[in-house]
Structure 1
Amino acid sequence: MKIDLDTIITDLEGKPVQVPDGTGRDPVTQRENTKDLTLSNACIITLRTEIPGDDKTDTEEAKMKRYRLAQRIVAGGKQDLKAEEIELVRTRLHKVFGMEVMGAVQDLLEPPTG
């Protein structure tokens, strides 16, 4: 399935979800510098996050599958993702993100029907 990984994740009100951009705090406002969360960012975070219990169930092969998929996704753009790759992200989403981001990401990966 062709998916635009550059799509910006929005909250329930349609506003872009903000995440820290890794550059620290603004020297004037002392607020964390942020950027819009993209589908690519959300998938990468989901794939790289170690979830409790992974150490007991993850094999080297499973971690390498996540790593190889993350390497492709980080490039962003429109990419073809196989059903099993989407499933790999989808099954971890709810353990990494809250309801709002999880729902938005899942709807982009597997658009609702009906």
Structure 2
Amino acid sequence: MGAAQQDIQEIHEAEAEAKKRMEQAEQRASEIKAAAERERDQILETARKEAQREKDVMLTKLEEERQQIDVRLRKQAQKEIDKLKQSADKNHEKAVKEILKLILKET
């Protein structure tokens, strides 16, 4: 019976060692998973920040283009206003001359 008892003891020790190794493997797997999740989160955050930077650059460029368009439109509008004013001035001068002619003819 001593040999059988020894065998049973060795089996229990082997089971305990196997259980310990399984727990260590599970712990290591858990650590690897946690590290992978942290790395994933860092990658996602980096990608989010880069996307935000690109968005900001695009918005800045769009705003600059909008401002340039506004400047061009204001210049065009001012040119049109100047043309209309010049035309109105000429028409006013013509009208004044015509009125003066009429007045001078009546006198």
- TM-score by length of structure 1 reads 0.17
Which structure ranks higher in relative contact order (CA pairs < 8 Å, sequence separation ≥ 6)? 1
Q: Name the TM-score, length of structure 2 as normaliser.
A: 0.18
Higher alpha-carbon Rg: 2
Higher strand share: 1
